[in-house]
């Protein structure tokens, strides 16, 4: 009699088995696809600063100035001394996103405009903090396939995403981001 062994593989993850090199799913190093960056640039006119980036990510973002992990954007230094437009795709890891959002909100009064991309986690304190401060938001109607450090789009997100807009041109934000999902004005 042949012994049958029950597989212990997590079948939800098998789609990732053929990816080479295998991306680190626990990593915070995921880059935003160009179409979202271009929409943000269209709304703000430019991207002057990206506080959570890398040289590879900045090839797409093309920010005038950016911080890498080594620069530590969570440090209580001022991000910028002058008003500027900020693109922000902070690390989403538990605990890190809280600190990243807190740092962003401290710096917000110095910014001209900003678009922040996060997971759609409406039940969290950090999400509610962002929602209280922004005049408009886009809830995506899909899950973004972020780009891994090896420059491959990787699907498999377990949540949708949200774009928070901080600036004075809600109409332009709505026009540029409605192709990605529902855009809502946030009432104070």
DSSP annotation string for 132-184: HH-SEEEEESS---EEPTTS-EE---SS-EEEEEESS-HHHHHHHHTTTEEEE
Distance CA 107, CA 75 (A): 12
Instruction: Give the per-residue pLDDT at 26.
Output: 44
Predicted pLDDT at 47: 97
Tokens of 12: 């939800």
Q: Are strands 65-66 and 49-50 parallel, antiparallel or unpaired?
A: parallel
Rounded to an integer, what distance in angstroms lies between the CA atom of residue 166 and that of residue 129? 13
Number of neighbouring beta carbons within 10 Å of residue 10: 8
- The answer to whether 156 and 148 have CB atoms below 8 angstroms apart is no
Spatial distance between the Cα atoms of 188 and 4, rounded to a whole number of angstroms? 61
pLDDT for res 15: 32
Instruction: Give the pLDDT confidence score for residue 156 in this predicted structure.
Output: 64
Answering whether pTM is above 0.85, one says no
What is residue 22's predicted lDDT score, i.e. its pLDDT? 39
In this prediction, residue 126 carries a pLDDT of 96
Helix (H) or strand (E) holding 57: helix 55-61
Q: What pLDDT does residue 5 have?
A: 40
Mean pLDDT per 10-residue interval, the chain, length 188 residues: 42 31 48 94 97 93 93 81 92 89 94 96 96 97 81 68 97 98 94
CA torsion, ordered 130, 30, 23, 145, to nearest 10 deg: 80
User: What residues contact residue 53 under an 8 Å CB cut-off, 6+ apart?
Assistant: 61, 63, 66, 67, 68
Quick one: tokens of 107?
A: 């710096």
Q: Cβ(140)–Cβ(180) under 8 Å?
A: yes
């Amino acid at each position: 009699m042949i012994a049958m062994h029950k597989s212990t593989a997590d079948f939800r993850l098998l789609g990732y088995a053929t990816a080479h090199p295998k991306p680190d799913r626990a990593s915070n190093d995921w880059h935003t696809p160009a179409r979202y960056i271009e929409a943000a640039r269209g709304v703000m006119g430019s991207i002057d600063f990206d506080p959570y980036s890398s040289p590879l990510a900045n090839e797409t973002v093309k920010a005038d100035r950016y911080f890498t992990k080594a620069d530590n954007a969570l440090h209580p230094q001022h991000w910028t001394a002058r008003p500027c437009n900020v693109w922000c795709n902070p690390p989403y890891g538990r605990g890190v996103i809280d600190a990243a959002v807190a740092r962003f909100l401290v710096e917000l009064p110095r910014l001209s405009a900003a678009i922040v991309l996060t997971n759609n986690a409406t039940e969290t304190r950090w999400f509610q903090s962002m929602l209280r401060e922004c005049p408009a938001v886009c809830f995506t109607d899909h899950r973004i396939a972020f780009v891994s450090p090896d420059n491959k789009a990787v699907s498999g997100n377990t949540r949708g995403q949200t774009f928070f807009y901080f600036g004075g041109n809600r109409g332009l934000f709505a026009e540029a981001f409605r192709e990605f999902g529902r855009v809502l004005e946030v009432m104070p």
